Amino acid sequence: MNDITMSKIYGMVSLSMKAGKLAVGEERAKEAIKSGEARLIIIADDASDNTKKKFSDMAAYRNVPLISIFDRYQFGRLIGKKFSVSAAVTDKGFADSIIRLYEM
């Protein structure tokens, strides 16, 4: 993935956080998935295998797209935290834009 595309993804994730459309952290992300609000799951590349499997299984069961991108510290900086491993995008427009950029 080139730097321009990554920069655009960073921007979309950051905007979704500012807009209140990002459920950050394992518990909030799981709640968003279970309630049907999640439109996209984002997992840090350096998440544990257990966390990746847990979210992968939940996403597959609920038919929610999942991407693995950033490391936990990059992800945290994007959303104003020290680090973050998981989040759910709850807005279809933001989710669709991030997915489209990710697949480029």
Give the residues across from 18 on adjacent strands: none
d(CA 75, CA 62): 24
The predicted model scores a pTM of 0.90
How far apart are the two ends of the chain, measured CA to CA in Å?
8
Cβ atoms within 10 Å of 85's Cβ, excluding its own: 23
Q: What is the CATH number of the domain that holds 20?
A: 3.30.1330.30
Number of structural domains found in the chain: 1
Q: What is the C-alpha to C-alpha distance for residues 89 and 17, in angstroms, rounded to an integer?
A: 9
Owning domain of residue 12? 3-102
Residues 68 and 45 sit within 8 Å (Cβ to Cβ) = yes
> 């209140």: which residue's tokens?
20
Name the pairing type of β-strands 40-43 and 86-89: antiparallel
pLDDT at 19: 94
4, 23, 29, 38 from 65: Cα distances, Å: 22, 15, 13, 9
- Per-residue confidence of the chain (104 residues) as pLDDT tens digits? 678 888 899 899 989 999 999 999 999 999 999 999 999 999 999 999 999 999 999 999 999 999 998 889 988 888 888 898 999 999 999 999 999 999 88
